[in-house]
Structure 1
Amino acid sequence: MFSIKDVTFLIPAYNEEKSIGPLIDRIRMLYPDSEIIVVDNNSTDRTAEIAASRGVRVVFEGRQGKANAMLTGFRSTETEYAIMMDADLTYLPDDSETLINVLRESSADAVLGSRLRGEKEDGAISLLNTIGNHILSLTASILYQPVSDVCSGHWAFSRRAMDHILESGLRYSGFELEAEMFSKLARSGLKIVEVPITYRKRSDEPKLSSLTDGFKIFRTLVIERLR
């Protein structure tokens, strides 16, 4: 079981009032001593209010975009390790312990949870998104290093990896976040490994646009390789 001295859970959130409470409750039950930081990214619903009512730390990032939220989250983290997970309850906090254990035991700098190597709830990923993710991950594997799910939103980071991302900065504010982090860490020679995780279906409509965002992610992988 983690302690507050070890791990901070970073949850970037934009209009996730339906899922943020149950997610925090699950993390609290599994890891009662770990810190939880919810980075509210201009939500217009009760996301921040619900998170604050659970007694977790809520910080606000006014610049729209998941990348901006994560940079704020990294700057707000004082622990040696951090877990990033989406606020929509598609990722299970139960898997976070595996990510951290692998991070420690393998002396890795970052561990990402692979949905495509793990168990997926029926309807969690559409056929189009599955095909697109395979193409993007193949692209990342050719340009950087082997990876099966470069778009995963469940990661574990060491302090070294967090500091490198903060120093390098993030150029793209949308769904390119994971691909950009992967490319920056891989290019720097930091060690990235992946482990299978469980992925669940969103309770409402996905925010990602398969074709438009998929092209942006592909472009990011190529541009970052050429820098």
Structure 2
Amino acid sequence: MQKHTIAVIIPCLDEELTIASVIQDYHKALPEAEIYVYDNDSTDHTAQQAVKAGAKIRFCTIPGKGAVLRQAFHEVNADIYVLTDGDGTYPPTMVREMIRLYMENPKSIVIGKRKNAKKHAVMSCSHAIGNRFLSVMFHVLYGFENIDVLSGSRIMGRDFVKSFPALYDGFETETEMALHAWMQHFDIQSLDVPYLDRPHGSQSKIHTVRDGIQIVKLALAGRKGTVC
């Protein structure tokens, strides 16, 4: 049976509190994978913690998750790409199942749909409302069924990654991925994944209103065929 190379890509900005445990968890879940941490100009000890935990460290000085992924997708070569966040909110309990889904349909990407792993809400009310609005919007505009557009948990193949233009530097990048999938006729598969609390002292980098407006603008522009 052919073995497929797997790369885990973890964009990070000031995640020294969590990055070591994230790397250790993914080493256990995918011991055959290469783990790459892309430090987006952190001011703490994220890079040092990542190296100690056994990841390959890379640096991106252009601010924004999109800029990180543009560099990472250009530099890293693999058959299967696992994308996750460095804040510990996406435990890799379902990563094997996500990879299995992708292998059944290599002309697809697999998005982890966030489900609270605890009874209390871990996502702010504004973020939850925004995510629901985007889910409905993408269903109306593109026909996607109940996807978690902004999820940081994804499985992608080489064809998708190497063709992804990554035109936007910021948090629009997840939306741009969905638009690229639609325009290039990739299926989007979805699987429920647990979503955990950030540890005390760790802060979300997304700004609900400012980034939300940019994401909605991009989604509307994509339907008109003016991006990607």
Q: Is 2:135 the partner of 1:144?
A: no
Paired position in structure 1 for 2:194: 198
Paired position in structure 2 for 1:222: 220
**Distance in structure 2 (CA, Å) of the matches to 1:60 and 1:83:** 18
Percent identity over the alignment?
28
**Distance in structure 2 (CA, Å) of the matches to 1:101 and 1:79:** 16
Q: Assess if the C-alpha contact under 8 Å between 1:134 and 1:148 holds in 2.
A: no
**Distance in structure 1 (CA, Å) of the matches to 2:42 and 2:203:** 16
Which of 129, 133, 143 does residue 131 from structure 2 map onto? 133
Q: Which runs of 4+ in 1 moved over 6 A?
A: none
1:89-137: CA deviation from partner (whole Å, max 9, x where unpaired): 001112211111100013342110111xx34432311222111111111
How many residues align? The count is: 219
> What residue identity is the alignment partner of 1:65?
G
Root-mean-square deviation (CA, aligned residues, Å) is 1.5
Paired position in structure 2 for 1:86: 85
Paired position in structure 1 for 2:64: 65
1:217 deviates by 1.1
**Distance in structure 1 (CA, Å) of the matches to 2:106 and 2:161:** 15
**Distance in structure 1 (CA, Å) of the matches to 2:16 and 2:78:** 27
Q: What secondary structure sits across from 2:194 in the alignment?
A: coil
1:77 deviates by 2.0
**Distance in structure 2 (CA, Å) of the matches to 1:74 and 1:156:** 13
> What residue identity is the alignment partner of 1:218?
V
TM-score using structure 2 length: 0.90
Paired position in structure 1 for 2:20: 21
Q: Assess if the C-alpha contact under 8 Å between 2:79 and 2:158 holds in 1.
A: yes
Write the mapping of 1:89-104 to structure 2, written as runs, cut at 5 A. 89-104=88-103
Q: Assess if the C-alpha contact under 8 Å between 1:145 and 1:186 holds in 2.
A: no
**Distance in structure 1 (CA, Å) of the matches to 2:77 and 2:149:** 26
1:60-112: CA deviation from partner (whole Å, max 9, x where unpaired): 11111101111111122221000000110001112211111100013342110
**Distance in structure 2 (CA, Å) of the matches to 1:73 and 1:161:** 13
Q: Structure 1 residues 153-162 or 202-211, which shifts more?
A: 202-211
**Distance in structure 2 (CA, Å) of the matches to 1:50 and 1:192:** 34
Q: Is 2:174 the partner of 1:175?
A: no
TM-score using structure 1 length: 0.91
1:141-168: CA deviation from partner (whole Å, max 9, x where unpaired): 2222323311111000011111110xxx
Q: What secondary structure sits across from 1:28 in the alignment?
A: helix
Q: Identify unmatched segments of 5+ residues in structure 1.
A: none
